[in-house]
Amino acid sequence: MTDWTDQTEQARGWFETLRTRICAEFESIEREAGSDAAFQYDGWDREEEGNDDPGGGTRGLMKGKIFEKVGVNVSTVRGNFAPEFAASVNGATAENPGFTATGISLVAHMANPHVPAVHMNTRFLTTQAAWFGGGADLNPPLPYEEDTEEFHARFRAACAAHNPTYYDRFRKWADDYFYIPHRDVHRGVGGIFYDHLECDDEAAFGRNLAFTKDVGEAFLDIFPKLVRRRMGTEFTDADKREQLDWRGRYAEFNLVYDRGTLFGLKTGGNIDAILMSLPPEATWS
């Protein structure tokens, strides 16, 4: 089995750097709105019986004037999957359940219903295999075609720089994944979603890390632009009700279908960090 320790540290370093840059940009937006809101950071240590070095992470949370609730989590954990869960993970088996995982996960719920909510995460995992996954998707309660097109265009450009097939493949993957079957609706207006970008050797790791970095850069470039465009838009009580109903759908997806939620719960993750994706307020009509 290949030792991916150095590569895990490279990926971890990038995810932590990206977290710092994103949080600084979001705090800048709050300052522009006359708010002194800032991220509060809580560290946590994972626990696993018989494991002296299970890792942990940091949850960053901010509640402000523009960002009603935004969480940016980074974690690096290692250990063993439960036997019944190992079979569902790429490269893991009941006989070889060991894993490492490092990544960044972000969800932003906005105060103004005209500003889209957003989700982004990227990660590097190793079992007997090693791979990158992640993506970003836009979740507006009140969609604007202009915003949707620009969000997709930015990720299309990021994909095109690496592989001409990536955008079409990963956009469809997002459309298929971020879907709520019992409502027969999509969670938002899509984006990209990818998984199992395999790292068979150092060269493949380098290529896939470069792509994953560009996904992060694309997010940091486009989402703040959309926030600044819409954050001063006046909204009505009806707009707010629409937002709260939409948030109910968002919560349903994350609690019933989201694989990241399941992964966190099955690997002894921090509960507050795992459930930070849930909106601060929602309604079910």
- Which residues participate in catalysis according to the annotation? 119
Query: For the purposes of burial, counting CB atoms within 10 Å of the CB of 158, is it exposed (0-12), middle (13-18) or buried (19 or more)?
Result: buried
Rounded-to-integer distance, Cα 58 and Cα 218, Å:
23
Are β-strands 185-186 and 179-180 bridged in parallel, bridged antiparallel, or unpaired?
antiparallel
Residue showing tokens 């290949």: 2
